[in-house]
């Protein structure tokens, strides 16, 4: 057992994706697969788990939403700044399903876009239900369209696509199409709703889950979710493992390990 060590890399490009998200690209030769994540160290600030929005290299990349102090510090990074990357960690997507429905809420598209690209490269069909608060925040919409995925959009404010949450869009797609997989990432209440519907349609669901993370090595228990550790058992977890966990979609643990309830959520 020799886990991946840390490498210090210069940032090659900083690309704003939406008003609240930014992509950092850096030299990357570890050959991660879609779904995996890395620990990104901003020296002097913090180290955070981030799904790879560009996992394969030679330029890897992460796409980050500006939430919390450190995410804002990431947005302050410039080309040439050096950051630490350790990983890749966690489980990758299984790319065997032929007809995939992707349901992405907000920055959840960051991990799902490369998965969709990989599925398209395998010749599989990909439909995308993409949700955001407003049209300008629809992350990777063009990227999904460029790869030949069918994209349906929902925005909270109705500035584009269906007004409201993305779940009704996903429901509609599920009703009319014989998917053999649904991949979702976004607020947990959203994933719970979507997965519940998909289960009734007998479509297997993979959720990309986020938790507090410290070691990322399956030791410290910070990312415990029921009996699972998101860093090694996840971040992709099948719905069958999640649905009976009282915490999923309802509570998380803070850095002290205290259980905290999610605020009133988006369904």
Partner 1 sequence: MADLTVDLAGVPLRNPLLLASGIWGETGASMASAYAAGAGGVVTKSIGTAPRTGYANPTVEPLGPVGFLNAMGLPNPGIEEYPAEIDVARAGGAPVIGSIFAATPREFAALARRMAETGVVALELNLSCPHARGFGSEIGRDPRRVERIVRSVVGAVDLPVLAKITPNTADPAGLARAAERGGAHAISAINTVRALAIDVDLARPILAHGLGGLSGPAIKPVGLACVWQIYEAVQIPIVGIGGIGSAEDALEYLLAGARAVQIGTALSGPGVALFGTIARELSARLDALGIDRWEAAVGRAHRPAPGPSAARSPFPGPSRMAEPRGTP
The footprint of partner 1 (CB under 8 A) covers 1-6, 8, 39, 41, 43-48, 82, 84, 86, 214-222, 224, 226-227, 229, 232, 253-259
Instruction: Record the tokens describing residue 226, joined without a space.
Output: 């029921």
State which residue, 50 or 174, has the beta carbon closest to partner 1.
50
Residue given tokens 């979609």 in the structure block: 249
Instruction: Record the tokens describing residue 224, joined without a space.
Output: 């415990």
Q: What is the CA radius of gyration of the chain?
A: 17
State which residue, 146 or 259, has the beta carbon closest to partner 1.
259
Residues near 24 by beta carbon (within 8 Å), at least 6 away in sequence: 11, 13, 14, 40, 61, 62, 63, 64, 74, 77, 83
Shortest Cβ 32–partner 1 spacing (Å)? 16
Shortest Cβ 27–partner 1 spacing (Å)? 13
Query: Residue 85: beta bridge partners?
Result: 7, 40
Shortest Cβ 111–partner 1 spacing (Å)? 20
Shortest Cβ 38–partner 1 spacing (Å)? 13
State which residue, 27 or 226, has the beta carbon closest to partner 1.
226
Nearest to 114 by CA among 57, 192, 179, 194: 57
3-state secondary structure of 54: strand
Rounded distance between C-alpha atoms, residue 203 and residue 58, angstroms? 34
State which residue, 166 or 236, has the beta carbon closest to partner 1.
236
Shortest Cβ 45–partner 1 spacing (Å)? 8
Rounded distance between C-alpha atoms, residue 150 and residue 152, angstroms? 7
State which residue, 91 or 167, has the beta carbon closest to partner 1.
91
State which residue, 1 or 200, has the beta carbon closest to partner 1.
1
Shortest Cβ 61–partner 1 spacing (Å)? 20
Q: Alpha helices of 184-263 — where are they, by DSSP H?
A: 188-200, 239-242
């Amino acid at each position: 057992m020799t886990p991946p060590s840390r490498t210090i890399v210069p940032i090659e490009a900083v690309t704003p994706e939406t008003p609240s998200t930014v992509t950092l690209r850096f030299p990357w030769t570890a050959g991660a697969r879609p779904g995996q994540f890395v620990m990104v160290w901003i020296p002097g600030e913090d180290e955070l788990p981030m799904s790879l929005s560009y996992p394969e290299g030679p330029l890897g990349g992460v796409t980050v939403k500006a939430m919390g102090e450190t995410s804002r510090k990431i947005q302050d990074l410039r080309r040439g700044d050096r950051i630490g990357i350790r990983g890749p960690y966690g489980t990758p997507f299984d790319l065997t399903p032929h007809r995939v429905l992707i349901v992405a809420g907000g920055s959840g598209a960051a991990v799902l876009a490369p998965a969709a690209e990989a599925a398209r490269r395998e010749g599989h069909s990909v439909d995308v239900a993409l949700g955001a608060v407003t049209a300008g925040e629809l992350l990777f919409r063009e990227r999904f369209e460029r790869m030949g995925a069918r994209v349906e959009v929902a925005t909270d404010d109705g500035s584009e696509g269906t007004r409201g949450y993305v779940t009704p869009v996903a429901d509609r797609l599920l009703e009319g199409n014989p998917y053999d997989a649904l991949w979702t990432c976004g607020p947990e209440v959203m994933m719970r709703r979507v997965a519940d519907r998909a289960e009734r349609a007998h479509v297997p669901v993979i959720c990309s889950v986020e938790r507090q993370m410290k070691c990322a090595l399956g030791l410290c228990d910070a990312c415990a979710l029921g009996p699972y550790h998101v860093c090694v058992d996840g971040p992709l977890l099948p719905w069958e493992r999640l649905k009976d966990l009282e915490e999923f979609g309802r509570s998380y643990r803070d850095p002290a390990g205290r259980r905290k309830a999610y605020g009133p959520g988006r369904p």
